Amino acid sequence: MNTTKLLTFRAPAVSLVQICGFKNFKAPPNYDHIQLPERPKLRFIDKLPNLPPSIRPPKMQKRLRYMRGPEDVHNFLMHQQFGIIALGGGRLKWGHFEMMRLTIGRKMDTSRMFASWRIDSPWQPVTKRGQGQRLGGGKGAIDHYVTPIKAGRVIVEIGGKCEFKEVEEFLTDIANKLPFKAMAVSQKMMEKMREDEKWREENNQNPYTMKYLIQNNMGGCQRWVSPWDLKYFCKYV
Q: Does residue 221 share a domain with residue 191?
A: no
Q: What are the pLDDT tens digits along the chain (237 aa)?
A: 555 555 455 555 555 555 566 778 888 888 988 999 999 999 999 999 999 999 999 999 999 999 999 999 999 999 999 999 999 999 999 999 999 999 999 999 999 999 999 999 999 999 999 889 888 989 999 999 999 999 999 999 999 999 999 999 999 999 999 999 999 999 999 999 999 999 999 999 999 999 999 999 999 999 999 999 999 999 987
Q: Does residue 150 share a domain with residue 64?
A: yes
Q: Does residue 160 share a domain with residue 119?
A: yes
Task: State the residue range of the domain holding 42.
Answer: 34-126+139-197
Is 9 a domain residue?
A: no
Q: Does residue 213 share a domain with residue 187?
A: no
**Whole-number pLDDT of residue 13:** 56
**Whole-number pLDDT of residue 19:** 57
Is 12 a domain residue?
A: no
- Residue 230: φ, ψ to 5°: -70, -25
d(CA 169, CA 107): 10
* Residue pair 45/98 in contact by the 8 Å Cβ criterion: yes
Helix (H) or strand (E) holding 214: helix 210-215
**Whole-number pLDDT of residue 200:** 94
**Whole-number pLDDT of residue 27:** 85
Q: Does residue 237 share a domain with residue 159?
A: no
* Residue pair 45/97 in contact by the 8 Å Cβ criterion: yes
**Whole-number pLDDT of residue 169:** 97
**Whole-number pLDDT of residue 37:** 92
d(CA 221, CA 225): 6
d(CA 232, CA 237): 9
Q: Does residue 93 share a domain with residue 172?
A: yes
Residue 91 burial (CB count, 10 A):
19
**CA terminus-to-terminus distance, the chain:** 94
Number of domains in the chain: 2
**Whole-number pLDDT of residue 29:** 87
Which burial class, exposed, middle or buried, applies to 42 when counting CB atoms under 10 A from its CB (0-12, 13-18, 19+)?
buried
Is 1 a domain residue?
A: no
**Whole-number pLDDT of residue 22:** 72
Is 27 a domain residue?
A: no
At residue 52, what is the residue type? P
Q: Does residue 193 share a domain with residue 83?
A: yes
Return the closest-CA partner of residue 90 out of 149, 144, 145: 149
Q: Does residue 235 share a domain with residue 183?
A: no
**Whole-number pLDDT of residue 12:** 59
